[in-house]
């Protein structure tokens, strides 16, 4: 019986296993995950779960019985430590497992602050796994002083939860604006004002010099010359793809495990999907750090493992919840040269539309689901509206759709 081994039991690994069964793959499936819990959703970790508004059971992608009922051998708390592509085996400690095809859905762990800066002191946290958040949650006490390092989604979502719970929040961003990796200056400025309005001491162009403390972190020296007294620290400074296993096995890696448009790595019979995979996209190669990509790419790989031979074309979208604001992003703004702002119909709602010349690339919608939905459909259908038709708040967005 053919055996497919999936290494990494996050959103991509779980989606891949489930899709193989949905496509009636009759062979054996083994899904191996280093974390001790069944596959779960990560997005709520820095939002509703951290706020205490989502019970643990609702984080799990599927009930545990699902795996047994679908004959998916779920091996939790175990780590693949080697791949032999010639023998077609993986090793887990002393155990050797043979595979016919192998998928790497190893994800991307959070980057940590260097130990030389005090990043290994107790009380310094990252937000990537359930265990990270469960360890950190007791620190969220009213009046506690938290320093958040990094103004990306993790830092900003954690800041919103902390400020909502009555903590004193300082957020530092090393770049000259928050969200610079993903958004235009207009969107960054809008979110900076939102956070400051909720009492967050937000400092851009400010980095950490060092964290100090005896038994745990107590002080933070910053490049703006100040020293903060802190009760705990959260680092939201990005993620790094888990490529060690792939590199050691001789797979091509270039800022991620290199895959083609089918999800195939540089070695036949070995595939990759999700945050760890560097895929071709609009003439370049990139990793898409989004849950939607993890699911869609994994499902495409499942089909291709079974011979579908169908290229995967990512249709990226993202969202973020901060206070009572829902940010929804459709498309990828990479290469944009101008941004059109469109006020929304409701108070406080608006959208930013990214263009490269005449071509619409992406939309950021703040509390404006209609702009998001329409922008997403326009981008998927490669339709670019005239910028002047967007900027007029009285124009009917639906009229832009085919
Ligand atoms: N809503 C969402 O889509 C969502 C929410 C949470 C997390 N995520 C994903 O989780 C991953 C991690 O998120 P993230 O926010 O950590 O990464 P990120 O790359 O989005 O942001 C990291 C930020 O930290 C800053 N930074 C880096 N080093 C720093 C330093 N030493 N001092 C100060 N600032 C520093 C960077 O300039 C950047 O702005 C990403 O893939 C992200 O897309 C997504």
Query: Is 316 a domain residue?
Result: no
Q: In what side-by-side order are the strands of the sheet with 89-92?
A: 82-84, 89-92, 95-98
- Residue closest via CA to ligand 1's atom 27 equals 237
pLDDT band at 315, cuts 50/70/90? Answer: confident
How does pLDDT run across 331-367, given as a tens digit for each residue? 999 999 999 999 998 888 999 999 999 999 999 999 9
How does pLDDT run across 380-397, given as a tens digit for each residue? 999 999 888 888 888 888
- For ligand 1, is residue 157 a contact (CB within 6 Å)? yes
Same domain membership, residue 95 and residue 15: yes
How does pLDDT run across 274-308, given as a tens digit for each residue? 999 999 988 889 999 999 999 999 999 999 999 99
- CB crowding 54-77: b at 16 or more within 10 Å, else e: eeeeebbbbeeebbeeeebebbbe
Strand 350-356 with 359-366, pairing: antiparallel
Q: What is the pLDDT of residue 4?
A: 98
Same domain membership, residue 24 and residue 86: yes
How does pLDDT run across 172-231, given as a tens digit for each residue? 999 999 999 999 999 999 999 999 999 999 999 999 999 999 999 999 999 999 999 999
Q: What is the pLDDT of residue 348?
A: 86
Domain boundary residue, one of 194, 215, 235: 235
Quote the crossing angle between the two packed helices 185-197 and 153-164, to the nearest 10°. Answer: 20
Q: What is the pLDDT of residue 1?
A: 80
Same domain membership, residue 101 and residue 62: yes
Same domain membership, residue 338 and residue 282: no
Same domain membership, residue 380 and residue 344: yes
Same domain membership, residue 216 and residue 124: yes
Q: What is the pLDDT of residue 395?
A: 85
Residue 262's domain is classified under what CATH number?
Answer: 3.50.50.60
Distance in angstroms (rounded) separating the CA atoms of residues 181 and 248: 30
Cβ atoms 243, 75 nearer than 8 A: no
Q: What is the pLDDT of residue 27?
A: 98
pLDDT for residue 401 is more than 90: no
Same domain membership, residue 220 and residue 127: yes
- For ligand 1, is residue 13 a contact (CB within 6 Å)? no
Cα(153) to ligand 1 centroid in Å equals 5
Same domain membership, residue 267 and residue 190: no
Full domain range(s) for residue 328: 324-400
Query: Is 46 a domain residue?
Result: yes
Quote the crossing angle between the two packed helices 11-22 and 291-305, to the nearest 10°. Answer: 40
Query: Is 58 a domain residue?
Result: yes
Cα(378) to ligand 1 centroid in Å equals 28
**Which neighbouring-strand residues pair with 97?**
90
Cβ atoms 287, 276 nearer than 8 A: yes
Query: Is 319 a domain residue?
Result: no
- Residue closest via CA to ligand 1's atom 19 equals 238
Which stretches within 75-184 are classed as H helix?
Answer: 130-136, 153-164
Strand 350-356 with 338-343, pairing: antiparallel
Same domain membership, residue 198 and residue 120: yes
What is the number of structural domains in the chain? 3
Query: Is 329 a domain residue?
Result: yes
Same domain membership, residue 228 and residue 124: yes
Domain boundary residue, one of 274, 305, 336: 305
Query: Is 209 a domain residue?
Result: yes
Query: Is 314 a domain residue?
Result: no
Joined together, the tokens standing for residue 206 give: 């400010």
Residue 346's domain is classified under what CATH number?
Answer: 3.30.390.30
Cβ atoms 124, 113 nearer than 8 A: yes
How does pLDDT run across 33-71, given as a tens digit for each residue? 999 999 999 999 999 999 999 999 999 999 989 999 999
How does pLDDT run across 89-131, given as a tens digit for each residue? 999 999 999 999 999 999 999 999 999 999 999 999 999 999 9
Same domain membership, residue 289 and residue 379: no
Same domain membership, residue 65 and residue 132: no
């Amino acid at each position: 019986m053919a055996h497919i081994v999936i290494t990494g039991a996050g959103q991509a690994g779980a989606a891949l296993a489930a899709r193989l069964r949905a496509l009636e793959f009759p062979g054996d499936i083994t899904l191996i995950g280093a974390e001790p819990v069944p596959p779960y959703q990560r997005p709520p970790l820095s939002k509703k779960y951290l706020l205490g508004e989502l019970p643990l059971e609702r984080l799990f992608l599927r009930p545990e019985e699902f795996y047994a009922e679908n004959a998916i051998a779920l091996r939790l708390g175990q780590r693949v430590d080697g791949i032999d592509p010639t023998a077609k085996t993986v090793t887990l400690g002393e155990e050797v497992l043979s595979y016919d095809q192998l998928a790497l859905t190893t994800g991307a762990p959070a980057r940590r602050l260097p130990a030389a800066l005090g990043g290994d002191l107790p009380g310094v946290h990252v937000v990537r796994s359930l265990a990270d958040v469960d360890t950190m949650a007791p620190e969220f006490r009213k009046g506690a002083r938290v320093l958040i390092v990094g103004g990306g989604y993790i830092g900003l979502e954690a800041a919103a939860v902390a400020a909502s719970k009555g903590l004193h929040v300082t957020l530092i961003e090393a770049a000259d604006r928050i969200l610079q990796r993903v958004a235009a200056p207009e969107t960054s400025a809008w979110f900076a004002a939102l956070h400051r309005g909720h009492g967050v001491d937000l400092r851009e162009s400010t980095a950490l010099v060092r964290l100090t403390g005896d038994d745990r972190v107590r002080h933070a020296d910053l490049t703006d010359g100040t020293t903060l007294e802190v009760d705990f620290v959260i680092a939201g400074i990005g993620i790094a793809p888990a490529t060690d296993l792939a590199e050691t096995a001789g797979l091509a890696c270039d800022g991620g495990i290199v895959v083609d448009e089918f999800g195939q790595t540089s070695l036949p019979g070995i595939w990759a999907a999700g945050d760890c995979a560097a895929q071709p996209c609009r003439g370049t190669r990139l990793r898409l750090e989004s849950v939607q990509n993890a699911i869609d790419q994994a499902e495409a790989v499942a089909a291709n493992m079974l011979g579908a031979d169908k290229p995967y074309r990512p249709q990226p979208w993202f969202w973020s919840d901060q206070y009572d604001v829902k940010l929804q992003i459709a498309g990828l703004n990479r290469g944009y040269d101008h941004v059109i702002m469109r006020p929304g119909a409701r108070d406080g709602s608006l959208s930013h539309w990214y263009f490269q010349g005449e071509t619409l690339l992406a939309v950021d919608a703040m509390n404006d689901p209609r702009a998001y939905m329409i922008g997403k459909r326009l981008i998927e259908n490669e339709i670019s509206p005239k910028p002047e038709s967007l900027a007029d708040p009285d124009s009917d967005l639906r009229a832009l759709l085919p």
